[in-house]
Amino acid sequence: MTKPYVFLALLLAPLLLGQSEIPDTAAGKVLAAWFAAFNSGDVGQIILFDDKYRTQLPPIAQTMGLRQQTGGFTLLQIEKNEPLSIEAVVQEKNSGTRSQLTLEVSSGERPKIVRLNIAVSRLTEAEAIAALSDHVEQAARNDQFSGTVLIARNGKVLLEKAAGMANRESKSPVALDTQLRLGSMNKMFTAIATLQLIESGKLAFEDPIAKHIPDYPNKDLASKVTIRHLLTHTGGTGDIFGPEFTKNRLTLREHADYVNLFGARALQFQPGSRYQYSNYGFVLLGRIIEKVSGTSYYDYVRSRIFEPAGMKSTDSLPESESVRGRATGYLRSNGAWASNGETLPWRGMAAGGGYSTAGDLLRFAMALESGKLISKSMLADATTSQSQQYGYGFGILGTGQMKSYGHNGGAPGMNGDLRVFPELGYVLIGLSNLDPPAASRVVDFFAARMPAVRAP
């Protein structure tokens, strides 16, 4: 999952003269140079600055992404001034949000950046909601966001907003009930289906693949990889995307088709030895769900997850079927937006690719938290980090009150993010029909500013 925009390391912003004076120290000179480069928005100037003052270069796309998101920073006040370090208050141009900036540089004739952080100041709930609403509108005007965002706390919706175009050709706007593609967010549904079958005794964490798919082509892999490995991306089963997927994209219509195409591959590493994100591992879970339940994966999640949770706008129908209200996805091609239709699988699957609404995802989160889909004890296990901040089909971020669980999804022309903060009661949802990180960025924006205390 995309990490929250709470501490943005190695990123800065612009100087507006007359509002605060930067000291003539080693740290001050670096700060002034960085302000000028970052605020210019010019890639060349930023690269020149990085080459001169950094020993570890941040990705230029990351820096430019922050520049687009914030609109740059205004320097408000220098709070601490030492020869090799500065602490200051800065303000985002786009949102007016204030942040604490810390810069430390090395000694010598050619100082280098040792640390450069921005810690976003926490706002009141009302202020954070207002800032997010403004940010979404600004991002949509700049063609950086198109989709829906929903913020709820303790079951109460605080903000539900739609922006941008669902279909650029027909000029249809995104509405609150527009269905947007989920990417890998489907993995949460697959995980819950798997955990339901474990709780009912039909599956066990230590069951090998071979127990439920006895005719699996690679016998060695099937005998070693367990349900637990698949849920935690530690099975060494590899991915599905690449030349073989592109070649067979429209003939891969069922989970069994993926097994037939990829099932003879060898293990990439010994199961349990390390974490490596595996879409194919969740395809295998989808096939196992079918074998154990005696029904299709799609029928199972509809009857056991979507219907109990009240999710009436979530599914994975084939792209060949017309779905009223389903947005078209758009990817960047030669500097313009183009439909992502030629990149999509035949239909969404256990690893991702379905579609939903922000409202349905809130219903899913509330059903999870209430114990309606799996027991609360199983949910606690599923949302505890098992490997690399990943549980059983859920990404985990933060600790203590700021701990959250959920999943994001991203592919050309689609991006989504769901984060549940059990201690604080917040549910954050963003869905977009543009390239990543369009949706995750708006979720990050609120996560960095929302109150970090329990509701009274």
**Domain limits, the chain:** 7-120, 125-456
Find, among 112, 99, 102, 114, the residue nearest to 29 by Cα: 112
The single-letter code of the amino acid at 307 is E
- CA 180 from centroid of its chain's CA atoms: 15
CATH 3.10.450 describes domain 7-120:
yes
Which residue do the tokens 């084939």 mark? 318
Provide the pLDDT confidence category of residue 14 given band limits of 50, 70 and 90.
very low
Token pair of 128 as six digits: 């954070």
Provide the pLDDT confidence category of residue 105 given band limits of 50, 70 and 90.
very high
Instruction: Return the CATH class of domain 125-456.
Output: alpha beta
Q: What does the pLDDT average to over 32-43?
A: 93
Find, among 180, 326, 292, 355, the residue nearest to 300 by Cα: 292
Provide the pLDDT confidence category of residue 67 given band limits of 50, 70 and 90.
confident
- Could you give the CA distance from residue 92 to residue 98 in angstroms, rounded to a whole number? 6
Based on the number of CB atoms within 10 Å of its own CB, is 399 exposed (0-12), middle (13-18) or buried (19 or more)? exposed
Quote the percentage of the chain above a pLDDT of 90: 82
The single-letter code of the amino acid at 185 is M
267: which residues sit within 8 A by CB, 6+ positions away?
218, 220, 221, 224, 225, 236, 237
Residue 268: what pLDDT? 95
CB 86 within 8 A of CB 31: yes
The single-letter code of the amino acid at 143 is D
Residue 95: what pLDDT? 72
Q: What are phi and psi for residue 104, nearest 5 degrees?
A: -130, 140
Across 141-219, the runs of DSSP E, i.e. the strands, are 147-153, 156-163, 165-167, 172-173, 180-181
Residue 9 in this model has a pLDDT that exceeds 60: no
Residue 98: what pLDDT? 80
Residue 7 in this model has a pLDDT that exceeds 80: no
* 265-312 residue pLDDT tens: 999 999 999 999 999 999 999 999 999 999 999 999 999 999 999 999
Find, among 451, 454, 449, the residue nearest to 6 by Cα: 449
Residue 97: what pLDDT? 77
In 3-state terms, what secondary structure has residue 390?
Answer: strand
Question: Where are the alpha helices (H) located in 249-357, listed in sequence order?
Answer: 255-262, 279-293, 297-301, 307-309
Q: What does the pLDDT average to over 118-140?
A: 91
Residue 15: what pLDDT? 36
- The answer to whether the 7-120 and 125-456 domains have the same CATH topology is no
Residue 144 in this model has a pLDDT that exceeds 60: yes
Provide the pLDDT confidence category of residue 120 given band limits of 50, 70 and 90.
confident
Residue 100: beta bridge partners?
89, 119
* 369-421 residue pLDDT tens: 999 999 999 999 999 999 889 999 999 999 899 999 999 999 999 999 999 99
Provide the pLDDT confidence category of residue 11 given band limits of 50, 70 and 90.
very low
Question: CA distances (Å), 84 to each of 26, 105, 150, 260, in order?
Answer: 6, 5, 43, 61
- CA 215 from centroid of its chain's CA atoms: 35
Quote the percentage of the chain above a pLDDT of 70: 95
Average pLDDT, the chain: 92
- Could you give the CA distance from residue 118 to residue 88 in angstroms, rounded to a whole number? 10
DSSP string, 88-123: EEEEETTT--EEEEEEEE--SSS--EEEEEEEEPP-
Length of the chain in residues, anyone?
456
- Could you give the CA distance from residue 172 to residue 226 in angstroms, rounded to a whole number? 46
